[in-house]
Structures are given as C-alpha cells and as structure tokens.
Amino acid sequence: MALHYFGLMLINGINYRTVWMQDTSVYLINQLLLPHKFEIYKSKDYLDTANSIKTMIVRGAPAIGATGAFGLAQAALMFEGENFDNFKQFINEAYHQINSARPTANDLKFGLDFVKSRMFAENSIANSKMKAFELAKQYADWNAELCRKIGEHGNSLIKDGHSVLTHCNAGALACVDYGTALSPIRMAHYSRKNIFVYADETRPRNQGASLTAWELAQEKISHAIIADNAAGYFMKKGRIDMVIVGADRIAMNGDVANKIGTYEKAVLAKENNVPFYVAAPLSTFDVNANSGEDIPIEERHEEEVLYIHGIDENNEMKKIRIASFESNAKNPAFDVTPARYITGIITEKGVIKPKSEDIEKFVG
C-alpha cells in the first residue's frame, strides 16, 4: 500500500488527500464504505479508475476531475508499443472511456482536457508518458489550491456565531483537499469562529449524513444531521443564517446543477430571506452551457432509492430494502437551481454574482 499523500483533511489524526497517484496506481479514499470504515482503494489501471468514478468510490466534481486526470496518466503509462500515432489513438480511446463515467460533472472533462491537451511531447512516447504524470499531479495540486482560496473568500461571509446549512457532500472528500462548500466552513473553524453546521442527510445516497457529517466530526466542528425535509423548518425558525452548497456544473447565466434537492433548498432560502451561496472553482463553469437547460442530468439506478445501506448491531454492513417489492422508483441524481435563487458563487477569484455579464468577466 502506498503512503498517503499529505493534505489538510484530518482523518483519525492524520492528514490525507482524497486521491493521489504513485507509480502507475491511483489511490482513493473509498467513499462507499464511509463513515463506518476507512479504507484506501487501489486502482491498478485506467479502466479501474473510470469504474471508480462510475461506481462512486470517488465522488464530487473536483475530485472526479483530478481522478480523471490521474486515470489518463495511467493510460499513458500502461501503453505498450513504439508507434506514436497508435499511442495517441490509445489515449483518445481512454479519454472517452473515462469521460463517459459520469455525465453531469464538468470538472471530469476539464481535468481530462488539462492532461490531454498538453501531454504529447516531441513525438516521443516516453516523454509524453512522463509529461502526462506530471500534468495530472499538477492538476491535483492546482485543484487543492483553488479550494483553499474558495475557503478564504467564503470565510469572509461567515460571521462568528453563524449556523450554516449544507447539502450533499462538498468537503475535502468531494475535492482533492479542503472542499468547496466545506472549505469556508473549515477556514471559519480554523479562525476560531463559533459556528454550527446543519448537514442535510441528502437522500438517496445520504452523502450529507455519511460523508459531510463524518468530515465535520473528524475536525470537531459542531454540527447536526437533519432530515432533508427539515431544512425549511429550521429556516423558518431563524436557526439557519446561510446556506453553502457545491456544484457539479454551472451554466454561463448562473444556473447551477448540483445534487438533487439543492433546488428545493434554494427556494426555501429565498422564501425565508436566507442567503444562498454556491461554492465552486471556475473549472465548474461550462462555457458551452448557456443555461441550466443545456446541462445533462444523470438518472441513476432505482435501487439507490429502494434500498439503504448501513451497519447493524453486530457492526456488519447490510443492504436493506425500505420499499415494497411491488414499487418502482425514479432517481434523478441532480437538479438545476435557477440563478435568481442564488446570492453569489464563491470561486477562487472571489464571489461572483450569478449573472452572465459578471460570470463572463471571470470565465474565459
């Protein structure tokens, strides 16, 4: 097993990153097992890495982007042959296989493009392989730095004594390090601000209950898990001062695609005069999406709704059906929040108003 790649995320008193690469293997914190078991998953080739993205061993747009970049580097390193044209064709095929693993997150394509557009060096396969590995590592480091800056800008919005609502997981697990929505919360905590976090459970995969709450517990940040349907109750009671969520893709008009249920939280926040912020790097903006209508929405398997996973009283992992066997389910994984419900988008360059003219100043 490779030594862990040092990052900021604290796990059992040790700092980790979500994903890293050593030799020709990619190492990932296995999010399917959290919060009950912490385990590093070793992906031995790019096909395994693509499957890790598809099966949600790794999840969260920035983390997926970095994993895709490492996967393409894996493909380059595993190529056997001496013909440069065959090498380029092999990379193109690997690119499309990895990119097809998850359709909604824009960062996956961004990470793949970052490596592919720069890796071919002087018609040399050996140099191109080395370049691909260097670029993938550079992308991961860059991604972590973006999230750190998001935390700095977002921290300025959080006041001492604030309570913040989150939805899904947009912590370090969803990125390479720091997180997007959790990065400002981490920075506020490190600044010794007295804050409290309400973590939506986020059905059907429960990323809020399983991942966000686990990260907060590791950092000893005060928090409580709430049912998805309870957010409006706490907003109306004046218990929530602001909402910060992540994003999987942002259109050029400011519409945001994020985990299913985000739209509902934004409408509730608007009704209750609670500021609603989206935290995401500029790489999450899709220059080819004029509005949310242009964003593809992934529909996942109905089993995610019909079953739930957890541990029993004997500490054994179990899969339990919670619906009748005569029932089917619909399972859109994301929804689109119109820009009019969003107070601002926290990026590495600062807080952007969700308007086309403001976004175009930042996004090239």
Query: Bridge-partner residues for 318, per DSSP?
Result: 310
Give dist(CA 102, CA 55) in Å, integer. Answer: 9
Does the annotation mark 248 as catalytic?
Answer: yes
CB atoms within 10 A of CB 258: 28
CA distance 87 to 81: 7
Between CA 223 and CA 120 the distance in angstroms is 47
Which residues is 9 bridged to in the sheet? 16
DSSP single-letter state for residue 333: -
Q: Which amino acid type is present at position 304?
A: E
- Residue ranges of alpha helices (H) inside the chain are 46-54, 61-78, 84-99, 106-119, 125-155, 182-190, 207, 213-218, 231-236, 262-271, 303-306, 356-362
CA angle 311, 166, 350 (to 5 degrees): 140
Structural contact between residues 326 and 129, judged by C-beta atoms closer than 8 angstroms: no
Q: Which member of 248, 255, 286, 335 is catalytic?
A: 248
User: Which residues share a beta bridge with 225?
Assistant: 199
Q: Report d(CA 181, CA 278) in Å as an integer.
A: 7
Residues 6+ apart with CB under 8 A from 155: 184, 187, 188, 191
The residues annotated with a catalytic role in the active site are 248
